[in-house]
Structure 1
Amino acid sequence: MLSKIFGTIFFLSLLGIILVIFQGGATSTGQVIFSQDYRTPGSSQVISFNDPATLKVFQSNLQANRPDYYAFQGAKDSIITIKLDTLRLAGQDNFSPSLALFGPGLPPLTPDEQQLFPFSLPAGYGLLLSAESTPISQTTQPTEQPTRFDEPWTQSGYWERQSILNQLLEDGTYYLAVYNLHGQGGKYALFVGDKPEAGLRETLTFPVTWVRLHYWFEDLWWPTFALVVVGLLVVALLYLWGRNLGKSFSQPAPAVYPAPDEPAPSPVPAADPLPEMKTAPSADESTHHQPKTTDLPVVTQTPLLNWEEPEKAATSLVQVAPSPAPDLASPELKNGPVREDGLTEWGKRFRP
């Protein structure tokens, strides 16, 4: 019983530690959103999101000569924080996309400046570029080495490229545009908001997010190793659970003992044995073995009847003394006593 209690406590403690780790990872990483799950490949569909103050990370792959757009509802006097990083992968050292924010209340563009962008602005909207973005008139690639950034929970590596920190002057719909003036494409991460929060959904799905990020960064070794280890642990737990379940079915039912205050149940009296059946000895056995008088019940023997005096024999039980052996040649023994009417005594008795 104690082993089961300690086992349950250990299991719940281990589960709590795992959930705390998942919560910390999900909070630090933010709400990771893969744009390919919401955008058709090869299109320029706008991805809309709510609450721009909460940290969100959009993982996307910029297509050559095709900007990516994001939209959100901004409130007046709210501060918006946006950062654009590129993934630290082979072949992306010189990939530096630009970041633009346009919406109501922002500085308007002249018609000449408008023609330099690969997108058009809605009427009444102004544009704000990041301070690190390439100037509109510049056509060469930047040569400075960007700052390196490593995310500890997901082991993700980035190059810090662009950032915007601005206070919105009006309420309305604002758009973010990620583009490249040189027609290059590559993978990037768009960070929106600066308040890390993680709900139950982000906490429970953090292992899936961790695996997807490693595959997104083309790091196949760690997620494959983690999946193998988790699979072995699951198989081991299922084996132990099945083994304990089999033992519980094979164990006999526990004996039930009375409580100390309750009297013990009286034993059930044993049934009386059946009396031994005895048979009377045969004629041959009686000549060789005579049983004791205590072994057999007492039986009263009926004396022989006197056939010569049937009336007396019927009313009186008298033991007849033994007589000498009869003469077989005697006519009386052969036919019985002769009467006056010429019939013998036996003939009269059996005459119809």
Structure 2
Amino acid sequence: MKKIVVIVIFCLLMLPASAFGHKLIPTDGTNIDYESALNIPDPVISWAMYEELEDNALFYKFDAKKDDRLFSSIVIPKLDNLENFTPSLVLIGPSTFLDLVDELKVMDVDKNFDYPIPDGYDAYVFDYNGPIPSKEFYEPFGQVTYWERQEIDLEIEAPGTYYMAVFDKNGSTGKLAVAIGYVEDFSGNDFVTVLPNAWLESRYFSEDYSQLFIMVGILLGIFGLIGFGIYRKIKRK
């Protein structure tokens, strides 16, 4: 059994770092307001959240320092019923900082966010205005193909607490992955905890269960061989 564990760990370590991309933060869809906003531990580190958007907005919260680079994006799993799904990505922060973003005209945004905003804050809405179907990319570790949507890439000028949100202006529902951060940071423990869980989550998220069945079959075969070996040893005695 120890040999099997070693082989699994070795295979994970042999995968290229770019295949892992973002650390997965589990979410259950209850982050529907500022009080329940999903906490992002460090907005510079790469994180991802698999979400199912319904007729509501989903919120995220993080603390940023001055000069932190804020990078965030939305991607959609390549499923037939989601080809036209284009949810909006919202940055909610101190009004003074967002006024500066507006003054510099660094991005094409609007303020059509029909949800409450905390005092002293403002919201900028980033819509997807590109072609449909949009550009695709294949994520090797999760073995999922996505459609790329919009992204945010700017420098934080004012330290403080920020929020992000996703919602759909047309009231459409569907699956999306929200990514934030750009620095990949995996410890040794992640290879046997975070990454296996992320792989399983990606199977459910992309509705691709074929490889999961194969993996379960392989594991059952391995345990069957171990059991047969133990049985033979007992029988010999």
TM-score normalised by length of structure 1: 0.57
Give 1:179 shift: 1.1
Deviation track 1:10-60 (CA, whole Å, cap 9, x = no partner) reads x65x64442133245595143112321xx439x443111211111111000
Give 1:240 shift: 1.3
Aligned to 1:49: 40
Aligned to 1:32: 24
Conserved? CA contact 2:62–2:162, under 8 Å = yes
* Aligned match for 2:87, one of 77, 97, 104: 97
Query: 1:95 is aligned with what amino acid?
Result: F
Conserved? CA contact 2:66–2:159, under 8 Å = yes
For 2:233 and 2:16, the matched residues in 1 are separated by 35
Conserved? CA contact 1:86–1:187, under 8 Å = yes
Aligned to 1:237: 226
* Higher share of residues assigned strand: 2
Aligned to 1:186: 174
Q: Which runs of 4+ in 1 moved over 4 A?
A: 24-27
Q: How does 1:1-352 map to 2 (within 5 A)?
A: 12=3, 15-23=5-13, 27=17, 28-36=20-28, 39-40=29-30, 43-44=32-33, 45-64=36-55, 66-104=56-94, 105-107=97-99, 116-130=112-126, 133-134=128-129, 143-205=131-193, 206-244=195-233, 247=236, 250=237
Give 1:215 shift: 2.0
TM-score normalised by length of structure 2: 0.82
Give 1:245 shift: 5.5
Q: Which has the larger radius of gyration?
A: 1
Secondary structure in structure 2 of the residue aligned to 1:77: coil
Give 1:144 shift: 3.7
Deviation track 1:90-118 (CA, whole Å, cap 9, x = no partner) reads 21000011111121222289xxx75x322
Q: How many residues align?
A: 222
Conserved? CA contact 1:54–1:196, under 8 Å = yes
Note closer, same or farther for the CA distance 1:91–1:50 as it changes in structure 2 (3 Å cut): same
Extract unaligned runs of 5+ from structure 1.
Answer: 1-7, 135-141, 251-352
For 2:181 and 2:92, the matched residues in 1 are separated by 17
Give 1:78 shift: 0.8
For 1:203 and 1:59, the matched residues in 2 are separated by 19
Aligned CA RMSD, in angstroms, stands at 2.6
Note closer, same or farther for the CA distance 1:29–1:224 as it changes in structure 2 (3 Å cut): farther
Aligned to 1:275: none
Conserved? CA contact 2:50–2:178, under 8 Å = yes
Note closer, same or farther for the CA distance 1:208–1:241 as it changes in structure 2 (3 Å cut): farther
For 2:15 and 2:63, the matched residues in 1 are separated by 28
**Deviates most, 175-184 or 17-26:** 17-26
Note closer, same or farther for the CA distance 1:103–1:26 as it changes in structure 2 (3 Å cut): farther
Deviation track 1:136-171 (CA, whole Å, cap 9, x = no partner) reads xxxxxx654311011011111111001011110111
Extract unaligned runs of 5+ from structure 2.
Answer: 103-109
Query: 2:171 is aligned with what amino acid?
Result: G
Identity of aligned residues (%): 23
Give 1:208 shift: 3.5
Conserved? CA contact 2:113–2:123, under 8 Å = no
For 1:227 and 1:127, the matched residues in 2 are separated by 45
